[in-house]
Amino acid sequence: MAATATAPALSFHEVWRPRANPWAIAFTVTLATFMEALDSSIANVAMGHIAGTLSASQDEATWVLTSYLVANAMVLPISGWIANRIGRKRYYMSCVLAFTICSFLCGIAPSLGILVLCRVLQGAAGGGLQPSEQAILADTFPPEKRSMAFAMYGMAVVMAPAIGPTVGGWIIDNYSWRWIFFLNIPVGIISLYFSNRLVEDPPYLAESRKRKEGVDYWGLGLLVVAIGALQILLDKGQEDDWFSSSLIVTCAVLAAAGLVLFIWRELVIKHPILDLRLFARRNTAMSQFVLFMVGVALYSSTVLIPQFLQEIMGYTARQAGMAVSSGAIVLIVLFPIAGRFAPKFDPRWLVAIGFFLTSLGMMRMTELSLNVSFFMAVSWRAGIALGLPFLFIPINTLNYADIPQHKNNEISGLSALSRNLGGSVGISFVTTFLARSTQRHLAMLNQHAAPGNPAFEQMRNALTGAWMQRGQHAADAAQHAGAQIYGIAQVQARLLAYVDVTWIMVFLLFIMVPLPFLMKRPKKGGEVSMGH
């Protein structure tokens, strides 16, 4: 009986490779993602100017930010499903085109209502860019070369929000807030041209489009409602005093009910828009949680440092943005290094090291005081940035390990959603805790600032005497002295609140250090075969 040899299954990248240079493709798609990530923070410093120009209040102007984030969050988890149905290249280029057009419309918006509407459309278009890029990189590069590709992607995702306030401040100081939107137009045109020339869909996507699958309209609707309500709850909760607001209560109910019904729907339907069974894979579930915590660390620190510098130290928005942007220099240096060395080490160890370094960098912020120099603030952000390359690159390696190619789009959408939701939760937690902790410390300090306390009496008498030397009557001088002491107490209470929230962030990051070892180490050079 003749023996028959069975040929081993070919891997995906042995069967198909893109015609264009992979690095040219990586640069092209990273360009649009950088543009979208920059836009998520560049408008932060423009709220006052937008409100003044469009005759709106500061609170109303914040919807320019919130509307973008809500629309962005609603599209992220379904971007993979859309890409599978209409083609990833077509979907990606449609998002770039829509984002560019909406940027122009935002720049010429004559009223706040129209600007918010355009930002909703812009956020929806931007929601498809990051997941599409991640999936394109995962398909373009074989596993052993993905680290450097994801290093380029990580630089765009992390650097853009960091330098956004600085770039926005410079544009507003020298031109008009409208130019923070017009800036996207040439970038979008360049990205469209090169995407059309270089990017292509792999064969498995063409095969998936041939399969006629029904549209899960109920699942789609439930997800949009749940994610949208959750994003509004996180963005507006502290501003509206949480559950004392009927809007926040309504959003909480919608988010909870929508998520429960959506999970049930996706687990029982034959063709779900989001395959929740992927969470049964240990690496997928843990990777999404780690990315969530990366979002918490990244965005909360981006808020904490500039807010402290402006609120306590009296910095301008531009100066505070420059301090935060210092981390971008560290990332420019470290991301290529981390990308080169990542394939040589166990990615679980690299993620653990990344969380450890980030927690140490955050720990340095507990030295907050009124004597902080600009260079010390720069060193804070630089210290936190040291660990980020060791988080972004290896976690993507773990995230895509043993995932079938036709699920890459869904994994990319989930990853972007996890990171962005982590950022929203981190920012919401920081702002809420700062407000509550400030009240607690102020109440404690006020207990000591009472008549009969020797230290209080000594300070009040000294300040009263100083005001009397300036020509104030005794009663007016005592009133000014009391107000001055209360102002000092407010600053000290706020300072103590910043220290408290920083220690909490240190603790949360430190307990993340051992968690990567709950994941399975991916096989070296391992890849799913083409047999679907």
Rounded Cα distance between 432 and 434, Å, is: 5
Position 50 pLDDT exceeds 90: no
- Position 417 scores a pLDDT of 78
Kindly tell me if the per-residue pLDDT of 208 is higher than 50: yes
Mean of per-residue pLDDT scores for the chain: 79
pLDDT band at 100 (very low <50, low <70, confident <90, very high): very high
DSSP state for residue 386 in the 8-state scheme: T
Mean pLDDT of 228-242: 77
Q: Report the phi/psi class of residue 271: left, alpha or beta, with left for phi > 0 and alpha for psi in -120 to 50.
A: beta
Contact (Cβ atoms closer than 8 angstroms) between residue 316 and residue 374: no
- Residue pair 299/525 in contact by the 8 Å Cβ criterion: no
pLDDT reading at 207 higher than 70: no
Indicate the pLDDT class of residue 516, thresholds 50, 70 and 90: confident
327 closest CA partner among 296, 299, 285: 299
Cα gap 304→297, rounded to integer Å: 10
Strand locations in 218-307 (E): none
**144-197 per-position pLDDT tens digit:** 777 777 777 777 777 777 677 777 777 877 888 888 889 889 989 998 999 888
Nearest-angstrom CA–CA distance, 409 and 140:
13
**Closest to 319 in 3D by CA, of 329, 327, 309:** 309
Please tell me whether residue 432 adopts helix, strand or coil conformation: helix
| Nearest of 26, 64, 65, 310 to residue 154 by alpha carbon | 26
Residue 428 to residue 418: CA distance in whole angstroms: 15
Q: Identify the pLDDT of residue 3.
A: 46
Find where tokens 């085109």 sit. 97
Q: How far is CA 494 from the centre of its chain?
A: 25
Kindly state the average pLDDT of the residues 451-471: 70
pLDDT of 104 strictly over 90: yes
pLDDT of residue 334: 82
Provide Rg for the chain, Cα atoms. Answer: 26
Q: Give helix then strand counts, H and E, for the chain.
A: 23, 0
- Of 304 and 100, the structure prediction assigns the larger pLDDT to 100
Q: Are the beta carbons of 40 and 94 closer than 8 angstroms?
A: no
Q: State the Cα torsion 514-520-524-526 to the nearest 10°.
A: -150
User: In DSSP terms, which residues pair with 11 in a beta bridge?
Assistant: 529
Spatial neighbors of 204 by CB under 8 A, at least 6 apart, are 12, 405, 406, 530, 532
Q: Report helix angle 129-140 to 112-126, nearest 10.
A: 20
Lowest mean pLDDT among 45-59, 303-317, 487-501: 45-59
Tokens of 291: 């990315």
Of 439, 59, 74, nearest to 240 by C-alpha is 59
- The Cα 322–Cα 320 span in angstroms is 5
Which residues on adjacent β-strands are paired with residue 12? none
Beta strand ranges found along 296-355 (DSSP E): none
User: So what's the pLDDT on residue 105?
Assistant: 93
Q: What percent of the chain has pLDDT over 90?
A: 5
HSE-up of residue 430 (Cα within 13 Å, Cβ side)? 27
Q: Which of 521, 517, 72, 515 is nearest to 289 (CA)?
A: 515
8 A C-beta contact, residue 198 and residue 93: no
